[in-house]
Structure 1
Amino acid sequence: MADDFTKSVEDGLKLAKRIYFGKDRSVTPPKPVSMDKSSKSYLPTAPMVYAVVFDPAIVDNPDIPSYQPHVYGRCDPAALIPLQMNGIALEVDCYLDTAFVTLTGSWRVHCVMGSRSCDCRLAVPMGEQGSILGVEVDVPRKSYCTQLITMEENKDMEKASRAGDGGFLKPHIFTLTIPEVDGGSNLSIKVRWSQKLLYHDGQLTLIVPFHFPEYVTPAGKKVSKKEKIQLNVNCGTGMEVLCKTTSHPLKEIRRQVGKLSFSYEAEVLTWSSADFTFSFSVPSSHIHGSVLLQSPSVHDVDQREIFCLYLFPGNQQTGKVFRKEVVFVVDISGSMRGKLLEDTKNALSAALSKLDSKDSFSIIAFNGEIFIFSSSVQLATKEAIENAIQWISMNFIAGGDTNILLPMNKAMELFSHSPGSIPIIFLITDGSVEDERHICDVMTSYLTNEESIHPRIYTFGIGLYCNHYFLKMLAMIGRGHYDAAYDANSIELRVERLFTRASSTVLANITIDDLEDLDDFEVYPSHMPDLSSESVWTVSGRYKGNFPDTIQARGIFADLNNFVTDLKVQKAKEIPLDRVLAKQQIGWLTAQAWFSENKQLEEKIAEMSIQTGVISEYTRMILLETQGGAQVSEPGRVQEPPKTMEYQRPVVDSKVQKIILLQSLGVGFGNVNATAENYPPGSEEVKLPEAAEIFVKAASNCCAKMCGYCCCMCCIRMCTRMNDQCAIVLTQLCSALAILGCFSCAELCCSGQEGG
């Protein structure tokens, strides 16, 4: 899908050369586009809007109609012409390690003649673990907004609504199509999403995609272009917050204990050419944290009180981390062939090279069988790591089916359980198997013995054929962490991040005391993970009763000394805990719902999803079209944060004319059949038809030359005089040969020339 998208944008940029901007010296077209053929060149690096052009003949300046050589035929798939942007505003609210981003912008359909219309496609790249929360669009005479519905409502709407193509182009790029926008119209769009802050060396870093290409800058130099950013930080600690770095010249407008506010506003010649980044820290050399409490809203499906307990590892550069006994359990079934296995081998080699000489390791490769590097964990000496990398190159050969239980059982047998070390199983797979619930039960039985430190399980899923909720459940049982690469190109980066997290444990066996008097207490995740120096530790949940004023957190340091700290309990008056915790809680609850097959829990998750705007496996996103809807906020204008942070579900009223059902945005629960057939991840993508490049490449005077050499016009005139039966017979007999002939002729006529 991403390759098709970038090809369509490349075709659209060539087609855009037809647009005439006038002879006035103050009006010039954007600079020529770089002809870099990299597949990343045309993927959006900031929120973008594109005109979806099937008919090249409609491409023209809506203000200055010009003579254009007529183009016959259609672009299939459609060419995507990036629209010029008139204004942009970014508002970011950071709470703990989560950021809520609201982007408001205005774009103009500058490339379609005023008498015609086209669909417009919105593409929104989001930051780390981004989750789309909602989109609002305002065009002349119509407005659109997204809404989440339950699966029961989805069944009813599937019959009454038309299907849309909204979904994820890449795991971090959300797309949505706005239908039938007139040429020359302005689109006002507001997009909301959440994302995680990165944590490293005691610093939290926000990275928002905000790098706009030159060709979205309006052609007229006299056009006012305003860029605005507002940033609010509330770390919840009640401690001083120190700013570290920023990409844009922010001005501090408010500072309180634990809180900061900044703004930036400027008239610009060109739009931002860098992502918006901001780093800050809560200076402390030791582990510290707090407990936040909040009452549920009246619309909350769960009326128990909300709590959030978090720990910052502090600056642990000199802190001691646990020694590790790591068993890498790696899928080498037939579906892992090619790039997937090569990237996994590279990621595994990089992980081995980062082991300390005091660490121990072994490797198990599996398909229907298992292949073991060593019968027990061995010290990570330089020689042992070199032997392991050589063993990987010889034994990692994709083939066979998938059996996960066999290697997991074997991995449990390899640990030596030496004092002061943490046993870790690091599982990497792209497949789903039938006995996943049984595997969870078996792993639970291993982890209920009397050992002081049980084996930890870290899981990593590749693609959409593996059951990510099984892997999440397995990680929760093993007090580890889970991550995934839905996109094969991100395997190495994400495996490295997860292994770094596993390698930097500074506090294990964390427990919470003084909660015995609560009437009802539920925590997510149910098995508390360890604290890493590379992440903020967060658990949350619901309770009934009187929460104590302070509680104690306990754990074990790497030197086996005990850790005890008092955590102050406070009300979270300005932090929307239900929204901050929603994605994490929905993920854990979905894993539990899958494992227990609990329908009531599924219904609860659906209500939580609708209440908070966070997508889930049990809800579906729709697009509502309203005639004469309310205006979206003025583009480029940053508004003050609303008084209430509660998500308001849109209400369908009598003005709604159309309901567009978008593609499912969940990752699903795996595909056992695809795994059994060894389908590689990525083959689940629906491929678009091959592009008829002749009509895009011939978008300008090249088309006139082509028509002079071949008989396309004659064929068209002849076909207009045929009756339907004759046309059907001719199509069945000659269509394939005729298309191939036209393509060959066009290639001969246009070879060496760029369209336009």
Structure 2
Amino acid sequence: MAVDEVFATAVEDGLKLAKRVYAGKERQFAAPPRPATGMERSSEPFLPTAPMVYAVISDPAIVDNPDIPSYQPHVYGACDPPALIPLQMGDVGLEVECLLDAAFVAVSGRWRVHCVMRNKSCDCRLVVPMGEQGSILGVEVEVGGRSYYTQVIELEDYIMENTAKIEGGGLLKPQMFFLTIPQVNGGSEISIKVRWSQKLIYKDGQFFIAVPFNFPEYITPFGKVFSKREKIHLNVNIGTEKEVMLQTTSHPLKEKSRQAGKLTFLYEADVESWSNKDFDFSFSICSDDFFGGILLKSPTTHDVDQREMFSLYLFPGSNQKTKAFKNEVVFVIDISGSMKGKPIENVKSALSTSLLELRPGDYFDIIAFNAELHSFSSCLEPATADTIENAIQWMNNNFVAEGGTDIMHPLNEAVGLLSSTKNSIPQIFLITDGAVENERNICHTLKTHLENSGSISPRISTFGVGSYCNHYFLKMLASIGRGQYDAAYDSDLIEMCIQRWFHRASSTIVANVTVDFFSYLDEFEVYPIHIPDLSGQCPLIISGRCYGKFPETLQAKGILADMSDTFIDMKVQNTKDFPLEKAFVNQHIDLLTAQAWFSESKQLKEKVTKLSIQSSIPSEYTCMVFLQKETEKDESLKKVKKRDSRKHAGSKDNLLILVRDMAIGFGDITATIENHPTVLGEPKEPATSLVYNKAIGCCNRIAYCCCCPCFIKTCSRLNDQLVIVMTQLCTALSCLACSECCTELCFGSD
């Protein structure tokens, strides 16, 4: 059973168990949603669509109203796995800050453990759906006089300091974060602030975003009259002097302020029921033609990098008459055995749709690969209705998931097909779910090919499916090829993400973008390394660090679809109130990690580690932990413990819980070779297994089979009848031993 199905079943069990909670005459606990009709029950009604907190119930006997104790029939046994009872929410506030193409979200709320007796306690679980390309930034918790917070630390520090594997957080499924708050007393109130980032979607001249903010009815507190307060604060800051216009919104926002490039809105009200829809909105930048600019900012005193920060942006504008380049496209599709089932079917469906979106004058070919190559044609074919129909039929016959994975050969074939293109953009679209051993060699080889190409070299866009492929290899390859990178970790999102990725990469309106500002600088570092093309469906944003002085204005140069040159004037703007370090740190960590992997540079790894810790964003070289804040009492106890520090060496004064699976890893070559089914919608095996083995230090490969953790795990999986038989056998042997002992005592003298 998938992780989300297990979670949904636990919530469904929790809602049934919550019927034991007596709410008085005012209101009974709301009935759970009905499961979907049909052969299979849908887990969707029980998955959170907004930040939620659940009571983790192993012992059902503790379930009761902490304010109005009632007679409850005794319950025997335990919930295994534990049931999850959604806690009632007292108030909630939402803050959204949009900075260029990213949104930073903060939700503050108050929940009450309304379903556990006052003299009992249970763990509570926070679950946060983070929206489009979400990434958790931090959690703060206040409960019962205790305070908790998340912190990013170096992975080696965690290995050295911990003597046990304690995990209480991570990713329940892609873009759904969870965290366990330990031992909360019944009747307690939990105040939580959770922060995450999301990606703004750009389409047809507008930015769109949807923030999960849809709360179920059954978290409404007991009582006829209860003041429910909702508050939403929206701040849009694009960093330019262009006017920003709010287009659509799901909630009634009131405009508080308006400046050049900035908008501020507020919604605050007492409501009868919590928000039952996501908070979504869209806005546009008033400009018909494409435009750009450069933002500069000095580093803060605490910044590990004391170079100037800069960001260069180019927007396509809302003029739909701007002509896009013709495309010569080669789709390179992984059909290895691990793609079997939903992945290959969803890729096939997305590719069929993408073929139908090709414009008159475009050319294409398809290369399917596993350990061998399967080509639709030996040359590029015109994108006519008949040819596309033949290609779709060819895919239906040849997209059979089997065999191994060889990426180098099909990419070389694709580059060869695009070696003589003219007056068009040559495009390679690579879709894979696997990792291979020669990935660095592939990057070096393709880099050489592209450098020796003509005036417009082939663009390489990459798409990763699942958790086994090396996403940093795909990011690096897209950076080298001036293309687009995207990924899908959930099978239901493959088709949508591929279509959007293809639409973005195939809508180039300005190619070969260059900016001669580097001649003014003494030293610079830019992300990504190669400036990509400007797409009609995606703004072009690069950022970096530098030493030197920019002029007041600069020009960006590029090539239009008619192969003529175009120049875009860009004003250099010094800014103090635009948080550049916040807007681009995630991008910097990702691209620096890709470069560190590619170059195998220890210096770059250390740089990523420092940046990750400073920004509190987990990386491949750091981990996130959940810590309890020290109180004044803890500080006084520490002074006493110092006298006996040797005796208690290695012990932890405060709780420390690992938040696992916050990094995507560098692929799994073994799983690719063995054709394991693509991991979609489920977290990988805990990335802390290495940490655990190093920290425990008591189990080698042979002894581990007999150690306590494995023994407990083995016992937990035994059949009930087998356990009964074993118990009876042990009892019989004990009785026999007692009988022999009595015989010796009574008749031994004879």
Q: Flag whether TM exceeds 0.5 (same fold).
A: yes
Partner secondary structure for residue 616 of structure 1: coil
Does 1:70 find its partner at 2:67? no
Cross-structure match for 1:129? 133
Aligned counterpart, 2:293: 290
Residue 668 (1) aligns with residue 627 (2): no
Give the 3 Å change call, closer, same or farther, for CA 228–655 of structure 1 in structure 2.
Answer: farther
RMSD, matched Cα: 2.1
Cα pair 1:294 1:305 within 8 Å, conserved: yes
Are 2:116 and 1:112 equivalent residues in the alignment?
Answer: yes
- Normalising by structure 2, what TM-score? 0.87
Secondary structure of 1:41 counterpart: helix
- Are residue 501 (structure 1) and residue 518 (structure 2) matched? no
1:671, 1:486 → 2: CA distance?
15
Residue aligned with 2:68, SS? coil
1:337, distance to aligned residue in structure 2 (A)? 0.8
Distance in 2 separating the partners of 1:548 and 1:341: 51
1:3-82 correspondence to structure 2 within 5 Å: 3-23=5-25, 26-36=26-36, 37-82=41-86
CA distance in 1, matches of 2:659, 2:718: 34
Deviation of 1:31 after TM superposition, in Å, equals 4.5
Superposition pairs of residues 138-217 of structure 1, within 5 angstroms: 138-159=142-163, 162-217=165-220
Q: Supply the distance in 2 between the matched residues of 1:226 and 1:22 (Cα, whole angstroms).
A: 23
Partners of 2:359 and 2:79 lie apart in 1 by: 56
Residue number in structure 2 paired with 1:555: 558
Give 1:321-400 correspondences, 5 Å limit.
321-400=324-403
Q: What corresponds to 1:710 in structure 2?
A: none
In structure 1, distance between residues paired with 2:21 and 2:525? 61
CA distance in 2, matches of 1:486, 1:310: 29
Counterpart selection for 1:601 from 599, 604, 611: 604
Partner of 1:564: 567
Report matched runs for 1:499-538 at 5 Å: 499-538=502-541
Rounded to whole Å, the distance in 2 between the matches of 1:472 and 1:299 is 30
- Kept after mapping to 1: 8 A contact 2:213/2:277: yes
Alignment partners' CA distance in 2, 1:669 and 1:515: 32
Equivalent residue for 1:611? 614
The alpha-carbon deviation at position 157 of structure 1 amounts to 2.8
| Aligned-partner SS, 2:584 | helix
1:679 alignment partner, one of 676, 680, 690: 676
Find the aligned partners of 2:74 and 2:679 in 1 and give their Cα distance: 39
Matched residue of 1:365: which SS? strand
**Distance between the aligned counterparts of 2:250 and 2:663, measured in 1?**
33
Deviates most, 199-208 or 287-296: 199-208
Q: Which amino acid aligns with 2:579?
A: P
The alignment partner of 2:519 has SS state of coil
Structure 1 residue 297: deviation in Å? 1.4
- Aligned residues, how many? 673
**2:418 aligned residue (407, 415, 426):** 415
What is the Cα deviation at residue 34 of structure 1?
2.5
Per-residue displacement from partner, 1:116-146 (whole Å, max 9, x unpaired)? 1111110111122211110000000211100
Task: Select 1:242's aligned residue among 221, 225, 245.
Answer: 245
Alpha-carbon shift at residue 269 of structure 1 (Å): 0.9
Which letter maps to 1:528?
Answer: I
1:14-50 CA distances to partner (integer Å, 9 max, x unpaired)?
Answer: 1112211112xx3343245323331222111100001
Q: For the Cα contact (< 8 Å) 2:100–2:239, is it kept in 1?
A: yes
- In structure 1, distance between residues paired with 2:333 and 2:719: 51
- Contact 2:661 2:684 (C-alpha < 8 Å) held by counterparts: no
The residue identity in structure 2 corresponding to 1:660 is I
Q: Which whole-Å deviations, capped at 9, do the CAs of 1:411-436 have from their partners, x for residues lacking one?
A: 11112643221111100100000000
Is the 1:621–1:664 contact (alpha carbons within 8 Å) kept by the matching residues of 2?
no
Aligned-partner Cα distance in 1 for 2:382–2:722? 63
The Cα shift of 1:54 comes to 1.0
Which whole-Å CA distance do the structure 2 matches of 1:230 and 1:497 have between them? 29
* Residues 686/453 of structure 1: CA separation in 2 closer, same or farther (3 Å cut): closer
- In structure 2, distance between residues paired with 1:73 and 1:52: 15
Stretches of structure 2 that go unaligned for 5 or more consecutive residues are 634-650, 687-713, 726-750
| Aligned AA (2:619) | S
Post-superposition CA distance 1:358-379 (Å, at most 9, x none): 1111101101000000011110
Secondary structure of residue in 2 paired with 1:657: coil
Q: If the length of structure 1 is used for normalisation, what is the TM-score?
A: 0.86
CA 1:18/1:289 → structure 2, altered by over 3 Å: closer, same or farther?
Answer: same
Q: Select the structure with the greater relative contact order (CA < 8 A; seq sep ≥ 6).
A: 1
Q: CA deviation at 1:732?
A: 7.8
Provide the rounded CA distance (Å) in 1 between the counterparts of 2:600 and 2:684. 30
Alignment counterpart, residue 483 of structure 1, candidates 483, 486, 489: 486
| Gapped regions of structure 1 (runs ≥ 5) | 631-653, 689-727, 740-756
Letter paired with 2:368: A
- The CA distance in 1 between the partners of 2:264 and 2:657, in whole Å, is 38
**2-side partners of 1:333 and 1:416: how far apart?**
27
Return the alpha-carbon distance in structure 1 between the equivalents of residues 466 and 209 of structure 2.
26
Residue 743 of structure 1 aligns with which residue? none
Cα distance change of structure 1 residues 656 and 271 upon mapping to structure 2, 3 Å threshold = farther
User: Could you tell me which amino acid in structure 2 is paired with residue 13 of structure 1?
Assistant: L
Per-residue CA distance 1:596-630 (angstroms, 9 max, x = gap): 00011011111111111222111100011135599
**TM-aligned CA deviation for residue 545 of structure 1:** 1.2
> Per-residue deviation at 1:669?
0.1
SS class of match (2:351)? helix
Q: Secondary structure at the match of 1:554?
A: strand
Residue type matched to 2:173 in 1? K
Amino acid in the other structure paired with 1:618: Y
Asked whether the equivalents of residues 291 and 569 of structure 2 are also in contact (C-alpha less than 8 Å), the reply is no
Percent of pairs with identical residues: 57
Structure-2 separation of matches of 1:404 and 1:209: 38
Instruction: Name which of 80, 83, 90 aligns with 1:86.
Output: 90
Conservation of the 8 A alpha-carbon contact between 2:133 and 2:199: yes
Q: Distance in 2 between matches of 1:32 and 1:3?
A: 16
Taking structure 1 as reference, are residues 51 and 686 closer, same or farther at Cα in structure 2, changes over 3 Å only? farther
Task: State how far apart, in whole Å, the 2-side matches of 1:277 and 1:178 are.
Answer: 30
* Distance change >3 Å, CA 290–CA 488, structure 1 → 2: same
- Measure the CA separation in 2 of the matches of 1:450 and 1:33: 59
Classify the secondary structure of the residue corresponding to 1:165: strand
CA deviations on 1:648-700 (whole Å, 9 max, x unpaired) are: xxxxxx99621112213100000111100001122874699xxxxxxxxxxxx
Aligned counterpart in structure 1 of residue 277 of structure 2, from 274, 279, 283: 274
Q: Does the 8 Å contact 1:85/1:217 carry over to 2?
A: yes
Cα 1:227/1:10, change in 2 over 3 Å = same
Which of the residues 519, 542, 546 maps onto 1:543?
A: 546
Provide the C-alpha distance between the structure 2 equivalents of 1:155 and 1:686, rounded to a whole number of angstroms.
Answer: 20
Q: How far apart are the structure 2 equivalents of 1:548 and 1:309? A: 14
CA distance in 1, matches of 2:623, 2:75: 40
- CA gap of 1:349–1:387, structure 2 versus 1, over 3 A, is same
Q: How far did residue 51 of structure 1 move? A: 0.6
Cα displacement (A) at 1:65: 1.1
Q: Are the structure 2 counterparts of residues 533 and 673 from structure 1 closer, same or farther at C-alpha, using a change threshold of 3 Å?
A: same
Q: What amino acid does structure 2 have at the position aligned with 1:586?
A: I
1:446-461 equivalent positions in 2, closer than 5 A: 446-461=449-464
Deviations 1:231-290 (A, max 9, x none): 111111112111111111111111111111111111111100111112111111111121
